[in-house]
């Protein structure tokens, strides 16, 4: 198996006793793979992503990042290698300027000032937002905040990127820009989204969750063309496959 991978075996989790949000989830995602996580509201997509970075303790089964079990003692190691982009950028960004926010993680990992500067500049460059370096966060548009959010995790040089609804609240231009940026990353990516067109454009593999269970796992094009399967689980064909313009 490749060095960088995520493995889940029979994972179940619930916020309340006897009420599972996720039930017997098992899959493996490997190096350079881009995996789309789709499902209707409440299917458990965000919960699954949060389990991977240890934000939700108390699960059953086994969650491993590069053969290391996700538990309290291993969280610093796992979080240094796993970047998580929140659904709401306002929750992700908490410093005053883009630079300060992007430099936050490298500084916390005790890197010297010149390395912090190098990583921050590279993250800004990769997300094409060098011009936003000293801009105040509260003055940014939704699209700008989303790109800064992605840059904040790129400065950690993670092996794995997890994204929760990355295209939410983005206009068509910013969305296209985001897709281009995501496609240039070679990290292992797991992208949870309702935006099936985004999944179609960025992920080779898709996992369909329904009421906390994996009901399909395979090539994206195959799953997203299966109208019957999607409709059975409260989803619809992507607009691009219906021949309609994407919004």
The least distance separating another protein from the CB of residue 108, rounded to whole angstroms, comes to 3
Positions in 140-159 near another protein (CB under 8 A): 152-153, 156
Q: Which of 84, 167, 177, 190 binds another protein (CB under 8 A)?
A: 84
CB-side exposure of 104: number of CA atoms within 13 Å?
15
The least distance separating another protein from the CB of residue 55, rounded to whole angstroms, comes to 6
| Segment interacting with another protein, rule: CB under 8 A, options 96-104, 185-193, 209-217, 227-235 | 96-104
Q: Does 15 bind another protein (CB under 8 A)?
A: no
| Segment interacting with another protein, rule: CB under 8 A, options 4-12, 37-45, 80-88, 227-235 | 80-88
Q: What is the DSSP string of 18-44?
A: TB-SEEEEEEEEETT-EEEEE-STTSS
Tokens of 155: 């400065």
19 CB-contact burial (10 Å; exposed 0-12 / middle 13-18 / buried 19+): exposed
Q: Does 207 bind another protein (CB under 8 A)?
A: no
20-45 residues labelled b (16+ CB within 10 A) or e (exposed): bbbbebebebeeebbbbbbbeeebbb
With CB under 8 A as the rule, give the number of residues binding another protein: 34
A 10 A CB-CB count for 17 gives 6
Residue 103 or 235 having the CB closest to another protein: 103
| Segment interacting with another protein, rule: CB under 8 A, options 29-37, 58-66, 92-100, 211-219 | 92-100
Q: What is the DSSP string of 87-120?
A: SSHHHH--SSBHHHHHHHHHHHTT--HHHHHHHH
Q: Which of 113, 180, 234, 242 binds another protein (CB under 8 A)?
A: 113
| Segment interacting with another protein, rule: CB under 8 A, options 14-22, 82-90, 170-178, 224-232 | 82-90
Q: Which of 45, 79, 146, 175 binds another protein (CB under 8 A)?
A: 79
Distance CA 220, CA 65 (A): 23
**Paired residues of 64 in beta bridges:** 7, 69
Question: If residue 216 lies in a helix (H) or strand (E), which one and from where to where?
Answer: strand 213-219
| Segment interacting with another protein, rule: CB under 8 A, options 30-38, 105-113, 191-199, 202-210 | 105-113
In the complex, the residues that contact another protein under the rule CB under 8 A are: 53, 55, 76, 79-80, 82-84, 86, 88, 90-97, 100, 103-105, 107-110, 113, 116, 134, 136, 138, 152-153, 156
């Amino acid at each position: 198996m490749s060095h960088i991978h995520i493995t889940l075996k029979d994972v179940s989790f619930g916020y309340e006793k006897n009420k599972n949000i996720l039930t017997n989830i098992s899959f493996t995602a490997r190096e350079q793979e881009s995996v789309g996580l789709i499902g209707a509201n409440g299917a458990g997509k965000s919960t699954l992503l949060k389990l991977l970075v240890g934000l939700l303790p108390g699960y059953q089964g086994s969650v491993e990042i590069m053969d290391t079990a996700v538990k309290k003692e291993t969280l610093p190691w796992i979080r240094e290698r796993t970047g998580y982009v929140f659904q709401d950028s306002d929750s992700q960004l908490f410093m005053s300027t883009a630079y300060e926010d992007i430099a936050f993680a490298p500084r916390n990992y005790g890197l010297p000032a010149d390395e912090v500067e190098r990583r921050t500049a590279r993250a800004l460059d990769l997300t094409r937002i060098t011009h936003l370096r000293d801009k105040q966060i509260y003055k940014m548009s939704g699209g700008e905040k989303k790109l800064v959010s992605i840059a904040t995790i790129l400065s950690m040089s993670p092996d794995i990127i997890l994204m929760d609804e990355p295209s939410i609240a983005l206009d068509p231009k910013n969305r296209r820009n985001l897709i281009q940026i995501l496609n240039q990353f070679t990290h292992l990516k797991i992208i949870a989204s309702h935006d099936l067109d985004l999944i179609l454009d960025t992920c080779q593999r898709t996992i369909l969750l329904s009421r906390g269970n994996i009901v399909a796992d395979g090539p994206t094009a195959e799953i997203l063309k299966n109208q019957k399967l999607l409709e059975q689980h409260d989803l619809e064909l992507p607009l691009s496959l219906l021949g309609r313009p994407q919004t």
